[in-house]
Amino acid sequence: MSNTQKRRRSYYVYLLLCEDGSYYTGYTNDVISRLGRHRKGHGARYTKMRRPKRIAHVEQFRTRQAAMRREREIKTLTHDQKTDLARRKTRMKREITRK
């Protein structure tokens, strides 16, 4: 991958609603592929046990460091705060879930 391609890559922080009603937060550069891995049980141990139901929220970042920072912020939120975040519809979330 060239330096130009690396600079253009976006990173995403995503919030998954799991079947037990809990949330899982992660970051990736390909949300659809990552969701597929979670659904097949090849993602995190947390989602392997709790099975992701749907993408609840997605945010886009230019750098991996920014995405990781936001992931840490979201992980400190309470369940109710994550629910509020998930209710805020973003254009990116709607675009990704349509595919």
> 77 phi and psi, to 5 degrees?
-75, 155
Q: Is 90 helix (H, G, I), strand (E, B) or coil?
A: coil
Fold of 3-98: GIY-YIG endonuclease (3.40.1440)
Domain residue limits, the chain: 3-98
pLDDT of residue 18: 96
DSSP result, 19-75: TTS-EEEEEES-HHHHHHHHHTT-S-HHHHHH-EEEEEEEEEESSHHHHHHHHHHHH
pLDDT of residue 99: 47
pLDDT of residue 95: 52
- Give the model confidence (pLDDT) of 40-96 as tens digits: 999 889 999 999 999 999 999 999 999 999 999 999 999 999 999 999 865 444 555
